Amino acid sequence: MCGIVAYVGPKDAAPILLEGLQRLEYRGYDSAGVVVSNKGLKVRKVKGRVADLAKVVPARFKGSLGIGHTRWATHGVPSDVNAHPHLSADERIAVVHNGIIENAAELRAKLEADGVVFASETDTEVLAHLIAHAADENDTLEEAVRKTLKSVVGTYGIAVIDAERPGEVVVARNGSPIVLGIGEKEMFAASDVAALVRYTRQVVHLEDGELAVLKADGFHTFSSDARETAKEPLTVDWDAGHYDTGGYEHYLLKEISEQPETITRTMSGRLDERFHVAHLGGLNMDARETRGFRRVKIIGCGSAYYSGQIGAQLIEELARIPSDAEPASEFRYRNPVVDPDTLYVAISQSGETYDTLAAVQELKRKGGRVIGIVNAVGSAIAREVDGGIYLHAGPEVSVASTKAFTSTCLAFALLALHLGRVRDLSPADGRRIVEGLRRLPGQIEQVLGQSDRIAELAKKYAPHPSMMFVGRVRGYPVAREGAQKLKEISYVHAEAYPASELKHGPLALIGPDMPTVAIVPDDELLDKNLTTLGEIRARGGQVLMVGHREPDAKLADDVIVIPKNEIELDPILLTIPLQLLAYYAAVALGRDVDKPRNLAKSVTVE
């Protein structure tokens, strides 16, 4: 959730660190800091934004080696003192850290008993003091870091520098990402490739339990037991231009607007017009293996989980395989029964979501077959699974997921088509789905063409303190995702319920101050959904309906009509107006749309 940047080379480190931290702002943070090495360590850190940090970094802040950090508070309130980097008492060692040290209290107590005085409330400062102590007893910084990490329980991505060894940075990973960037006689490290792509597209991903030493002329990697490890660099497809707003007011609006292109990329090369099937070679499964699965279990967190619910519905309808979705955090802690006849699907835009990664590792340990649906090539989950589908949606910068969500739903449609055609889905139904997928980009363009009207509706409904979202079967996960979007970026309280469940309790909330957003596709449940609208209206509730036709004027105050596709694919289209509604509501309320409070883009802690 925090951000790390490190540099060693011939240039001044500070501008590179600050620019890298700006690239990581989308991950969410509350404070920032940098340290450079030049005849000692020079540190600047502040509570606030990277722009605030840049104001306190003096012009003569020279040093060709340094590390920087954006912090998302876990131990101690956001403050200048608790901001990273943290230094040892002798100011020899500086550390930045993502993750949580679970035995920090125990380690801190031992250090305090030895006379160490702590400056902050953080768990990270423990590392600085322990590494400094180990450095006094060892010849190399890498050995000091390796020895220290043996005593640490928890997750970490760290970068460490030593004032007495000004030519090297040591980094390590366990559950929190670290990526090395290979330049021309210079080296970089970061928690996300976004901080690197302006300088290099040659990267190396560290594995859990792996460390690396960076020097200007190269790097070497090794395991926690000091064995050398071999790493092959990857070339990332994204460049610095992918992280610009492209003239849009917010990244979120840019990413909503990109969806016709992003789902086209997700489909590209994967549809077979001859046999009306999806080609998914990355699954690494032949037809015989595929037919052997009797159930599909989908795991993810937040919007990824809701896309998994849409995916489960698609797989059941098209492939007739029992399927369900579950939050990864719940799955990993309830000691699940891992069935060899079940195909497990892990979803993560970043490929680094800690709860999902831990669930994948538990499944693998128990012999489960796991595939991934991931956007970030080379990420931890992508490396851990047996196969999968890359989204190719491009980097998603805004904290709220939009284009990755729809591309994930599209990937599930491809997976469902693939599974269905191996089993009992007829060529005629396969053709119908393929044609429907082909229509989606143009239909999304049509929905985006209603942005001005949706903005006006958002202004109308945004002042209400709460909103209800309802839908049936295919519409229910759409309602859940719509409520999620509204509350995470506008801070308007929103609840989502199956429409059929309203009368079993939530209907007590309905009244003039609780508008309802109703997902009403033109499917076999249309009449039942319209009956629900009547129940809401009879109790004085306002209704904003999202569907394929205008209902009786008595049933809805406002309607957003969208194009109709195949009923199985309609949920993908139904999400688009809800994204726009949430975005324009947040703008109307003056929210920080791309960086909503208390949230982070990539959740790499529990």
User: What residues act catalytically?
Assistant: 2, 601
Nearest Cα residue to 352 out of 290, 301, 417, 419: 301
Instruction: Select from 448, 460, 430, 450 the least CA-distant residue to 585.
Output: 460
Q: Which residues contact 411 (CB under 8 A, 6 or more apart)?
A: 266, 311, 373, 389, 391
Q: What are phi and psi of 489, to 5 degrees?
A: -115, -20
Give the chain's length: 606
Alpha carbons 362 and 522: distance in angstroms, whole number: 41
- The span from the CA of 171 to the CA of 179, in Å, is 9
Query: CB of 378 within 8 A of CB of 330?
Result: no
Per the structure block, which two tokens stand in for 25? Answer: 């702002």
Show the tokens assigned to 566.
């195949």
Interatomic CA distance for residues 562 and 564, integer angstroms: 7
- Residue in 174, 399, 391 with CA at minimum distance from that of residue 302: 399
Q: Show Cβ contacts of residue 381 under 8 Å, excluding neighbours closer than 6 positions.
A: 346, 348, 351, 352, 353, 356, 357, 360, 372, 374
Q: Output the DSSP codes for 258-319.
A: THHHHHHHHHTT-EETTTTEE--GGG---HHHHHT--EEEEEESTHHHHHHHHHHHHHHHHH
Rounded (5°) CA angle 298-304-305: 50
Element holding 372 (H helix, E strand): strand 369-374
Structure tokens at 20: 């890298």
Residues 554, 535: Cα–Cα separation, whole Å: 11
Q: What does the block give as tokens for 101?
A: 């040290």
Distance CA 98, CA 189 (A): 13
Q: How far is CA 446 from CA 452, 463, 562, 573, in A?
A: 12, 27, 8, 10
> How far is it, in rounded angstroms, from Cα 588 to Cα 23?
26
Q: Give the number of other CB atoms < 10 A from CB of residue 121.
A: 14
